[in-house]
Chains A and B, each alone.
Chain A
């Protein structure tokens, strides 16, 4: 059964298209990752799927409901954790949850029980009556996850849930999500620009760049889809003429890319290529300044498909400026 069906979805702001004709589906129970650098169109896509932004063209169905024609049914089917932390700082965790339970029309007899269960599930039961302004960033994010589940949604949308969190909180949030997904039979659609997170936790990953889908598969298959099993990153004291060609002719080398002084060598056999590389450098009287050998990661997949790493680019208009807003953490 398909929980999310996206068909040729576009969102343009004037000449600039933040999302440019995306199509994909997400099956029930999947953890689906949307991966891309800042400005790739991930948040705009999530906002369209959660009925916050109307698409320019195309359509999508969430839990079988059209995001334009049946927006309220979509809203009842989904839980949403926006990128910004939106819990009320002056209210307690319990009060924050209570307000949203009422907004979703949860009957009063069920409300208190659900809130207590969810706060326990995100390890915040002991802080239930404390104002959120006393919470750390990780605690606030966990509270928001609990808040997003207060009406027992089928599909959970999370927009960069771990951005701005310390490594320990990031791990805690992901462990919690994995557990909640299992216990509550959720379908999760999550955006992130942390490749390691996506690699470990997502069943399938869509790589988005410039608003377009450039690759979509499981992390394992994505990594296998690019040439080479290892990546050698190497820099030299000097670069002789035709050095790039010399590197390409080393044994087991699938491809070589150079970025100024650093060469990225994609190899089918890292150790063998490394030995040959050292020998070639000795013969050419070139000393190796730095060398690292690693297995292929999603970073490499991303670089392979997009041709670049993270970079600055135009984003969809944010709607309002939050630059000067002050928030205590």
Chain B
């Protein structure tokens, strides 16, 4: 036991004296949370739409007034009047406009005659997010525009009433579970990957191997010290990430305790996976070359940034074996739904099982000689 503690002590002392390492493994994921959370979560605003009115009738003027109202209130788009369609389309192709709206001749006449006139929307569909936002706003706007005389008292068709069982979850909160897991993973990559291999290359492990320490003690020591650092990084994210993301009641003690348990299980799973991957690696360039890809392969299929249901089959297969998936699902349940321990038991179970298998395999593969 003393030998295992010696390995942990050495690692944690080094960690404490490396402020850069602490910043990289704790602050960077927080920055990522803020940047990604706001980069994907906000509403699209201030698009520029050219309006070509070839009609000039009263219904067309009414329509343009509604555009002005959107520009003044929701600010999804601002309109720029054009007298001819050619120059508007040219500006659209030059990237000066996001879309061009054409109110064709005879629009007012057809409107008044109720023969379903059409408005043309030419959009820059290279940016699908902006195009979708624009289409959505315009469709919404056309509903009141098209409003007919009052409907009958008794509705004749079925309608859907939506009941949201949790408070509104902005994207930054949706992203928080993934970011916590990512912080733990970054720690595992640095501690279990880069530092482990660098120490090996510098001959530090040679010093260990000439002592009477056993293979299992070495692996357990490396894993526990790596996990301890990952737990610290995970807890920083749980506390500060929750505050930044605006999780309701972030210091709810029973939930925090459940989160700590999940942070520990996730740290052990990810660090043992890292050791298993690196157990036979000796070249210090290998972890550096593989970690970018590994990060992508594990993080994105986990449902951290987008629902797994939307993935193709091969990505769903990765999600099934990826410990990220279970950690992210567990943190989502705790942070966004404030569930009890029972709800995350299957996820905890997978992480613990994964740790045992990975650590056993790493011990079998570990060479106690050079």
Determine if B80 is an interface residue (Cβ-Cβ < 8 Å): no
Interface bits A87-126 vs B (CB < 8 Å: 1, else 0): 0101100010001101111000000000000000000000
Q: When chains A and B are docked, how far (Å) is the Cα of A47 from the Cα of B210? A: 9
Q: Are A47 and B370 in contact (CB under 8 A)?
A: yes
Whether the pair B369, A51 counts as a contact (CB closer than 8 A) is yes
Is B153 interfacial (CB 8 A cutoff)?
no
A82 in contact with B201 given A76-B212, A102-B3 (CB within 8 Å): no
Instruction: Collect the chain A residues with CB atoms within 8 Å of residue B7's CB.
Output: 103
B200 contacts A320, CB within 8 Å? yes
B209 part of interface (Cβ distance < 8 Å) = yes
- Does A72 lie at the interface of the complex (its beta carbon under 8 Å from any beta carbon of B)? yes
Is A100 a contact partner of B207 (Cβ separation < 8 A)?
yes
CB pair B201–A325 under 8 Å, yes or no, is yes
Which of A76, A91, A103, A327 contacts B208, CB < 8 Å? A103
CA gap between A54 and B3 in the complex, in Å: 24
Number of interface residues, chain A, beta carbon within 8 A: 35
Contact in complex: A84, B206 (CB < 8 Å): yes
Give every chain A residue within 8 A of B5 (Cβ-Cβ): 102
Given contacts A86-B204, A102-B2, is CB(A325)–CB(B210) below 8 Å?
A: no
Are A90's CB and B201's CB within 8 A?
no
**Are A86 and B206 in contact, with the CB atoms below 8 A?**
yes
**A53 touching B3 in the complex, CB below 8 Å, given contacts A80-B210, A320-B282:** no
Contact A53 B18 (CB under 8 A): no
Name the distance in Å between A291's Cβ and chain B's nearest Cβ.
45
B17 interfacial contact with A, CB 8 Å: yes
Give A100 to B204 CA distance when docked, in angstroms.
Answer: 12
- CB–CB B13/A103 < 8 A: no
Question: Is A52 touching B284 in the complex (CB atoms < 8 A)?
Answer: no
Q: What residues on A are CB-neighbors of B204 within 8 Å?
A: 86, 88
Of the candidates A91, A103, A327, the one whose C-beta lies within 8 Å of that of B211 is A103
Contact with B along A285-312 (1 / 0, CB 8 A): 0000000000000000000000000000
Residues of B contacting A47 in the complex (Cβ-Cβ under 8 angstroms): 370
Q: Is the CB of B201 within 8 A of A105?
A: no
List of A residues within 8 angstroms of B9 by Cβ: 99, 102
The verdict on B283 contacting chain A, using a C-beta distance below 8 Å, is: yes
Once the chains are docked, how many angstroms separate the CA of A327 from the CA of B284? Answer: 14
Flag if A104 contacts B212 (CB, 8 Å).
yes
A82 and B14 in contact, given A53-B370, A75-B211, A320-B201 (Cβ under 8 angstroms): no
Residues B211 and A320 in contact, CB atoms below 8 Å apart: no
**Nearest CB in chain B: distance from A202 CB, A:** 22
A131 to B16, CA, bound (A): 13
B→A interface (CB under 8 Å): 2-3, 5-7, 9-10, 13-14, 17-18, 197-198, 200-204, 206-213, 282-285, 369-370
List 15 A–B pairs whose Cβ atoms lie within 8 Å, in order of A's numbering. Answer: A82-B203, A82-B210, A84-B206, A86-B203, A86-B204, A86-B207, A88-B14, A90-B18, A99-B6, A99-B10, A102-B3, A103-B3, A103-B7, A320-B201, A320-B284
Binding site for B on A (CB under 8 A): 47, 50-54, 72, 75-76, 78, 80, 82-86, 88, 90-91, 95, 99-100, 102-105, 131, 147, 319-322, 324-325, 327
